[in-house]
Amino acid sequence: MADKKDAKGPNKSEEIRKLARTMKERNEKPRPVVIVATLKKQGIDVSSPQVSMVLKRMGFRPRKRRKAGEAEAPKAKVRTVSAKSGQISIEDLLAAKKVVQQFGGSDRAIAAIAALKRFEG
């Protein structure tokens, strides 16, 4: 195995980092395909997975992709049931789920709601 001091050529990871920083300064999103093409013009051969890993370690997260065939469909409106009937709607459950996630668990969320209820009188 070759010693790192004997290696010739540029440090590929460092070149990827430099290019990603300059793209970020220009308010461009550093994408692996763009970086691979740019470095190839400079004579540096890197792979897309290598670029992705370096970007991930730098703190850039990959964009979320939709599944194939899944189009942006308008969301169907959920009918809400009046609070007087005592039933909980799906919207209420989704809102409660977000609250529980923000508090870090259902026990903490319930404790916070109980404390709030005491303050309300």
Summarize pLDDT for 21-70 with one digit per residue, the tens. 999 899 888 889 999 999 999 999 999 999 999 998 888 876 677 777 66
3-state DSSP percent of the chain in helix, strand and coil, to 5: 60, 0, 40
Nearest to 31 by CA among 48, 12, 13, 14: 48
Average pLDDT rounded to a whole number, residues 8-28: 88
Residue 85: the pLDDT is 66
Inform me whether the pLDDT recorded for 88 exceeds 90: no
- Sorted by where each begins, the domain ranges of the chain are 10-58, 83-120
Residue 115: the pLDDT is 87
Inform me whether the pLDDT recorded for 76 exceeds 60: no
